[in-house]
Structure formats: structure tokens, C-alpha cells
Structure 1
């Protein structure tokens, strides 16, 4: 075992995603190692594009500079799949995971496309456009994480993708103002027009009631994807089902808090306390156990379908 790689991945997870860090402790040691190292690569790519470190202290990054950074990430990803020696810890970790779990190269490049959409300052004209972004930055991560857990059934992989979509819709709702201040907007343009808003006016304090309505639309839109993800728990090993049920509960609770806070949702970053996480961990255990005896249900019609 390469302990320095695991240490690096663990530190990255602890600093970058406290929500998933809690759930990841429920995995068996081997699955946890791979999940942490895959997360470290995703976090590294995000930071490279934005010129950040674990999501903080971002300087202004020009488009041409970001394009060069993206091209380097794409090149390093190809090299990792080719088995070339990797000096960057995040890519060494990534290489170990994708080769060990046979993660398709296209999925890695689908994830990099999410960063490319940011670099291009992509416009999101309607909700399907927003869901397409959610797929690239989070849905495909759900696919890769599921493969780490041993999933190969396409129907179960659909549910893993749905959970990623739900997570990202929640993130967008939570971070509307923070994203707007960074010059980014993932809300559908037609939704904004209905509220008389533009990306340039999203961060204005006077528009918080309208933002609360938009956030509620996102959170409500995430619910069928959270429901679909829950229905996929029987396709996971029990400990993995517990971890994923817990992560689902934590992220869903963040969305509920954003909705409940209304216009005040962006006064501080919404999250869950240690006691709330503990309660969600316990309820996740119950959800995982009962999933063993639940009959499989078809994926609801009308949900966004990942590319295959």
C-alpha cells in the first residue's frame, strides 16, 4: 500500500468535502482508499482550473491560462491511463484507481468536460442544459464511484448518476451568490428571465427573495433524483449502501436548510452539524438495511438520461 498517497487523499477529502468525508468512513478499507483517491483527483482538477488550493484563495485566472491548465489535465489523464509514471500525487492516486477498477477513460474525460464548460463560460439556456453540466461535474463522478464499489449493472449505475445530479443541484442552490460573485451562473436563463434577473444581478441583496424562489425550484427538481438514488441502494454492497445513504441524507438536508432559510440562505454557507451528521448516519444505516428487502423499482420516467 502506498501510504503517502492515501494520506494525501484523506487530507484532501477532510479539507474539501466535510459532507462526504463523514460518509466515506463507512466504507471498507479498500473501497474507502479508492474513493478517497478518486475524490483527490477530482478536487485537484477543480483547483488547477481555478488556480485554487482545496477551493480557497483563487487568483484571477485568464481564459487562455485556464485553457492551458485544462489541456495539461487532459494530457496527464491520457498518460495515467497509458500507465506512465505519475509525479503529481493526485494523478498517481487516480491512476491506481482507474486501472484497478477498470473505470472507462471516457468517464474521466466526461468529468474534465465539466471544467471545460466553466472555461468556455458556457451558457445554460434551460434546465436540461443545467442538468448536462451537473452530469459532467457530479453525475459522472457518481458513475466512477459506483465502479469503485464494484457496480457494473447499468441500471444501478443510472441511480449512481442520479445521486450525483441531485448533489450538484443542491450545491448550485447553496452557492448561487458565491458563484455569482465569481462570475458564474448555472441557473437556467429561462428561469432567470421569469424572475426578471440576469447573471449580473444575481448577487444583489435586493434580489434575495427571487433567489429563494429559484433555489426552491432547484431543490424540488433534485427530489426525484434523490428518490431514484435511494432505489439504487439494493444494488450496492451493504457497507457501501450505508455510506451512500448517509451521504444522500447529508446533502439532501443541506438543500432543505437552504429552502427553509429563504432569503437568508446566503447569509452563511449552509451545512450540517456534527450531531445532525450523526443522526443522518444512523438513519442511513436503517435505510441501507431495509434496502436489502425492498423490491427493485423502475427508474422514474422523465429523468435526465446520462449518455452511454
Structure 2
């Protein structure tokens, strides 16, 4: 009667850790509404089936970002705790989600559900997690390819996962390349807009070689006397953004209408952010660039007609960075901190195990 098999019961593996699907979708919807108004607006254009899955994936991305930075829905960065432990928690909770085990965190359970439904892989997830690991390690890009690698991890790899969620086959490398282009375009716009906020958090995503070319001293790029040089660097970022944005439009042509409309709406909104940063020149960081509700509505309407015509032009100048080249660099570089299989940090382990009882 005291045999271990009689008293120890393993937790059954279930998609979403056994949580109700509708409840996970509602939690994921709340996360995207709080975390990103731009993505929330674009996500409403998907058909219901795709929209729900997009929300589930977004919830995981948002939660990983918050854990990695000690934030709440993208708020102020925290310097408390050990960043390496946070990354380990993300990896282990994601591992549990893939195994169908409860995590005590709806965002990770949501990821387990959408991963099971759409066939997302652990390698895809690890490519995204590596972006958080780079930030946790205080990593900064030295070269353009370093910047490409970072943009891939934090956004291009997410674009690949989003494409699979939209129904793109994992074997369709051409469409996955275009989805990666869209994610990279978004990230370049974010980097240009958030230079000031990143500097306050002791982060900088401008390649060191670019700063050297502009004669900007280390750590001095936000000083007033370097505003023109910084504006020039920003223009350089946005030129790259526009190349990736144009290639993403070519890929969007192969998506169903509603998915195409949503993707083109997001591309227009983020493209507008990047171009507004450039238009403001030296004053770009006096106030954070935002796209208001009325302007978003105009971009969504314009994207509707663009999706309906569905005649994108192949850009005369394709992006200098390709997903294939970036992946070669990524695999050669290896993870900044190899995955650990040590137990979860206490603050996460107690919650996860409570759900197994």
C-alpha cells in the first residue's frame, strides 16, 4: 500500500495545462489590450479563429518580456533580482507549457495551448527567449550583424511564429522569411523611437561601429550636442526598416484577405512611427512618438484597400539582412546563456507546484 506508484500521481499532460480554453483566450485578450494598442487594433481584423490564436501567442510574448525586465505590462524596468534567474524561469515555464503541464501562469498555459494547436516548436520559442537573455546579460551590438541578430530574436522570430499561427506551413521558408522581415521592421521602428527610454535603462541598440562613425563618445549619444548625429543614425535605421517593410508586403500578398489586412495595418502603423521619428529630426526624443486613434483608423482603412488590390511591388532594394544569413550567425554564436534545467526559482516554483496538487 505504501508503494510509490500508489501515493505519487503524475500530473496529466493537457494542452493549456488543463485550463479552460475560453478563459485563456479572455486572459490573452486582456493582455493585448493593456500591452499594445497598436497590436490590439490590428488583431481585430483577423478572423475569429486566427485572432484568438494571435492573442494566445501575444500573451506569452508579453509575459516573457515582463518577467525578463521585472515589469508589469511594459512599465518601468526593475533592477531587483537576478536577471539570469528570470530567464531560467522563462525557459522552464515554457518547457512545462510545451509538455502540457500546469504553470500557474495563464500566459504560459496559453502558449502551451497555441503551440499544441499550431505546431509551434521549442526551437522557435528558444529563438525568442534568446532575445530576453541578451538583454539580461547587458549585451550591446557592436556591428550591423549584431543588430540584425538582436532584431531577429526579439521580433523577427516572433514574426515567424505569428505566421505559423496564421496558417503558414513551417516548410514554406519564403513566407516565413517575409514574416521575419515584418518583425525586424517593427523592431527597427521601436529602436528608433525608444532611444531615450533605452538610454535611461542603460541600454543601447545602436551598433558601436555606427556610433564610432558619427564620432559619438561611448554612452554620450543622448547628449544635446549629438542630436544631429543621432538623427542621422535614426534615418539610417528607418531606411532599413522600409526595406524590410516592403518585403513583408510581398509576403502578405499570399495570406488570406483578413490576415493580409491585419498585417498591412500593423505595417502601416509601425511604419508611420518610424517615419515620424525621422520627420522630427533632432526633436524626435523630446516627446515619445505615438500614433493616435484617428491616424490608426486611417491606416487601417488604407490597408483595407491595399489588401483588396493585393498588388505589392517587389522593392528595387531588398533588405541587406536575410533570415538565412541571420540564422547562420545565430547558430554560430550560440545562446548567450545555455539553457539550464535546474529547478525553477522559488517565486515561480511554488506557484507552478501548487497547481499540481
| TM-score category of the 2 structures, normalised to the smaller one | over 0.9
The residue number in structure 1 matching 2:227 is 208
Pairing 1:100–2:117 present: yes
Pairing 1:133–2:161 present: no
Check conservation: 1:162, 1:229, Cα contact below 8 A: yes
* Structure 1 residue 219 displacement after superposition: 0.3
Q: Deviations 1:275-305 (Å, cap 9, x if unpaired)?
A: 11111101111111122x6698999474322
- In 2, the alpha carbon distance for the partners of 1:169 and 1:264 equals 18
Matches within 5 A, 1:243-258: 243-258=262-277
- In 1, the alpha carbon distance for the partners of 2:228 and 2:31 equals 35
Matches within 5 A, 1:259-270: 259-270=278-289
The residue number in structure 2 matching 1:305 is 323
Check conservation: 1:130, 1:186, Cα contact below 8 A: yes
The residue number in structure 1 matching 2:77 is 58
Q: Does 1 or 2 have the higher relative contact order (CA < 8 Å, sep 6+)?
A: 2
Q: If the length of structure 2 is used for normalisation, what is the TM-score?
A: 0.81
The residue number in structure 1 matching 2:236 is 217
Corresponding residue SS for 2:291: coil
* Structure 1 residue 240 displacement after superposition: 0.2
Pairing 1:273–2:267 present: no
Pairing 1:5–2:28 present: no
Give the stretch that moved more between structures: 219-228 or 50-59.
Answer: 50-59
Check conservation: 1:169, 1:218, Cα contact below 8 A: yes
Say what the alpha-carbon RMSD is for the aligned residues: 1.9
Give 5+ residue unaligned stretches, structure 1. Answer: none
- In 2, the alpha carbon distance for the partners of 1:168 and 1:225 equals 11
The residue number in structure 1 matching 2:53 is 34
- In 2, the alpha carbon distance for the partners of 1:73 and 1:126 equals 28
Give 5+ residue unaligned stretches, structure 2. Answer: 1-19, 329-357
Q: If the length of structure 1 is used for normalisation, what is the TM-score?
A: 0.94
Corresponding residue SS for 2:116: helix
Check conservation: 1:234, 1:296, Cα contact below 8 A: no
Matches within 5 A, 1:38-117: 38-61=57-80, 65-117=82-134
